[in-house]
Amino acid sequence: MANMKRPSTANTERTGFSALSRTALRHEVAKSLVTAIFERRIPANSRLVVQKLAAQFGVSATPVREALLELEVIGIIETTHNRGAVVKHFGRQELRDIFHLRRVLECEAVRCACGRIDSARLAELREGVCDLRDKAGQESSWSNSAMEQDIRFHGLISSHCGNPRLANEIERYSAIVEVVREVMGNKWDMQRRAVDDHLAIVDALLAEDAEAAAMAMAAHIDQTAKMVCDAMFPGEE
């Protein structure tokens, strides 16, 4: 029988983590690990050792264990009794799977949020989206403004879906998408398309048309998924 290749331990010097503040430790550890995995600083099959990671981050073992559990839930790592936490292969298909789950969650959230968000709040949101669309490419800070609005936009919908568990799951997957954005950098064409998509979703919410809002959300996430996958994994099918 061929010997099984032992997973390598991530090199602390190569990963380049910095010490973290004491706030939101679990989230920050998870986000830092996902970033390192996406940037290939921690390759597939690397073994993640709790004590070593805790020392790198300057935290106790508890938030590291919690972060690893979170990454296991979303399929970034796997944990076995004999090997501990090991980084799984992550490519185009795995990223597609994450966007598929996000599509399912956010389409349901926007259906549930329809009629729950104050019309004045939606009108204000629409005005902001239109203003951002009209200023596209005119200001050097436009991409950052678009990213901030995207986070607020999706957060507003999930926070009004009336289901805290659904909102929590959306937040979990949104954190991965946020990391993907940071790894990719700002993509003007993707952000410009997202602004148009947001406008269609807001208009459906203003009309209190739950199915139209869900369809617009599905189209938005599908298009984003394709553009992100093409940018992150060019040449992969």
Q: What share of the chain is helix, strand, coil (3-state, %, to 5)?
A: 65, 5, 30
Beta-strand (E) ranges in the chain? 47-48, 77-80, 84-87
Instruction: Round to whole Å and give the CA distance between 176 and 178.
Output: 5
User: For 201-220, what is each residue's pLDDT tens digit?
Assistant: 999 999 999 999 999 999 99
Q: For residue 54, give the nearest of 68, 37, 75 by alpha carbon.
A: 68
Same fold, 12-87 and 92-232: no
The yes or no reply on domain 92-232 and CATH 3.30.590.20 is no
pTM: 0.79
User: For 150-166, what is each residue's pLDDT tens digit?
Assistant: 999 999 999 999 999 99
Q: What is the mean pLDDT of the chain?
A: 86
Q: Tell me the CATH number for domain 12-87.
A: 1.10.10.10
pLDDT band at 21 (very low <50, low <70, confident <90, very high): low
84, β-bridge pairs: 80
Q: Is 26 left (phi over 0), alpha (psi -120 to 50) or beta?
A: alpha
> Residue 6: what pLDDT?
44
Give percent of the chain above pLDDT 90.
53
pLDDT band at 190 (very low <50, low <70, confident <90, very high): confident
For residue 111, count CB atoms less than 10 angstroms from its CB and return exposed for 0-12, middle for 13-18, buried for 19 or more.
middle
Strand-pair category, 84-87 with 47-48: antiparallel
The residue extents of the domains of the chain are: 12-87, 92-232
Residue of 134 and 234 predicted with greater confidence: 134
Q: How many CB atoms lie within 10 A of CB 171?
A: 15
pLDDT band at 3 (very low <50, low <70, confident <90, very high): very low
User: For 46-88, what is each residue's pLDDT tens digit?
Assistant: 999 999 999 999 999 999 999 999 889 888 999 888 788 999 9
